[in-house]
Structure 1
Amino acid sequence: MTLPLTIRPAVPADIPAIAHIYGDAVLNGTASWEIAPPDEAELLRRFEAVLAGGYPYLAAERDGLLLGYAYAGAYRPRPAYRATVENSIYIAPEAQGAGVGRALLAALIDDCTARGFRQMIAVIGDGNGASVGSRCLHERAGFRLIGIAEKVGFKHGRWLDQVLMQKELSEGDKVPPTP
């Protein structure tokens, strides 16, 4: 019998599994446009920066195995963007297509809404190609297409498009954000 999927805050002890998942995405996919996977020390530094910024970093596990992770961070660094976050979701190859991404995205949306963020942006690498599944995942979660930057990245010997999708959170643009 398979245990249910658990979504929880990520902890520093998750970094080796996160490094493994992200490393595969960097080397074999187009969701990340990094060319070489960062080491565990760098991923720990990034993890700590996300948390220090007041953003969520979540892990999905089943049977004690980390199957994926998701986090939100600043969409852009300037203060006027303070109510807008960008999401990132990475799933272990063996768990793709099993609902892990859907569960992580739903939990991330809930967490960001509870923290008072108003807009969530998905920047999908190769959203018209290999990462089309990510585009569909976001569409099912209520994101809408807001733009496509064509052929702005080059990886795995080909030019990649970048798809931008957006979802309004909480009160959205109905009232000003909290300072």
Structure 2
Amino acid sequence: MLEEEYQRRRVLPRHLRAPVPQEAAFTYSIRAAEPRDLPDVREIHTHYVRNSSVTFDPSAFTFAAWKQRYDEIRRRGLPFLVAENPSGQVLGYALVDPWNPRDRSNHTVEDSIYLGAAAGGKGLGRALMEALIDDCRAAGVREVVAVIADRQAEASIRLHERLGFEEVGRMGKVGYKYDRWLGTVTMRLRLRGPRLFARGRASR
């Protein structure tokens, strides 16, 4: 056996092996959104508008539209949350809008959650949703509804299922994007009792 091949194949004792580089920890905190976060929120949402069918929105919202939405959510006392890393970069957001804008009671709301492209698959979506649900309960919300696209949104459906949402209906061909018809899955969570989740301040 050649010396080069021997050196390549041999297994060194643990104390002689080169250290394996450690992946940097995924660290974030979750807090209430502020007006300064809206450009980042808009950028995250625009990515999905332009690159996927998880939202049926045909074009990106203007900053003015986001500011109006933010102001209305705050006026009603409903949650609008962002997750950020230690350097202040917004990694994702979660919010609820009134299911019926004419209903002033806030009893039923619809959730929206979007993560930045590099933040998926790390537990952030669940942490944001847990915080959102707890804040909904604190705001007097009785029911959270999720209307999810039936294509490319399987992860969102699984997330809602794990948090106790139940499927209550499906509609086919109610949206059209990328030259194809899309349907929706409607899920519902009825809120009862005290908070179920701890507000997320986590690292992974």
TM-score normalised according to structure 2 size: 0.78
Does the aligned pair in 1 maintain the 2:109–2:144 contact within 8 Å? yes
Matched, 1:105 2:123: no
Return closer, same or farther for 1:2/1:162 CA change in 2, 3 Å cut-off: same
1:73-112 → structure 2 map (5 Å cutoff): 73-79=97-103, 82-112=106-136
Alpha carbons 1:117, 1:170 under 8 Å: kept: no
What is the distance in 2 between the residues matched to 1:38 and 1:98? 27
Cα separation, 1, equivalents of 2:171 and 2:26: 41
The CA RMSD over aligned residues, in Å, is 1.6
1:140-151 to structure 2, matched below 5 A, reads: 140-151=162-173
Structure 1 stretches of 4+ with a deviation exceeding 6 A read none
* Structure 1 letter corresponding to 2:141: F
Higher gyration radius (CA): 2
Structure 1 residue 77 displacement after superposition: 2.6
Of 3-12 and 161-170, deviating more is 3-12
2:41 match: 18
Cα distance, 1:45 vs structure 2:
1.6
Distance 2:173 2:58 in 1: 16
Retained in 2: the 8 A contact 1:147–1:164?
A: yes
Aligned-pair identity in percent equals 39
Equivalent residue in structure 2 for 1:37, among 60, 74, 84: 60
Render the CA deviation track for 1:51-76: whole Å, top value 9, x for unaligned: 11221100011122111001111111
Following superposition, the deviation at residue 16 of structure 1 comes to: 1.0
- Is residue 165 of structure 2 the alignment partner of residue 134 of structure 1? no
C-alpha distance in 2 between matches for 1:163 and 1:82: 22
CA 154–81 in structure 1, closer or farther in 2 if over 3 Å, else same: farther
| Count of residue pairs brought into register by the alignment | 169
List gaps (5 residues or longer) in structure 2: 1-23, 194-204
For residues 77 and 178 of structure 2, the distance between their equivalents in structure 1, rounded to whole angstroms, comes to 34
For the residue of structure 2 that corresponds to 1:88, the secondary structure is: strand
> Does the aligned pair in 2 maintain the 1:116–1:170 contact within 8 Å?
no
Given that 2:106 and 2:140 are in contact with CA atoms closer than 8 Å, whether structure 1 keeps it comes out as: no
Pairing partner for 2:179 from 142, 157, 160: 157
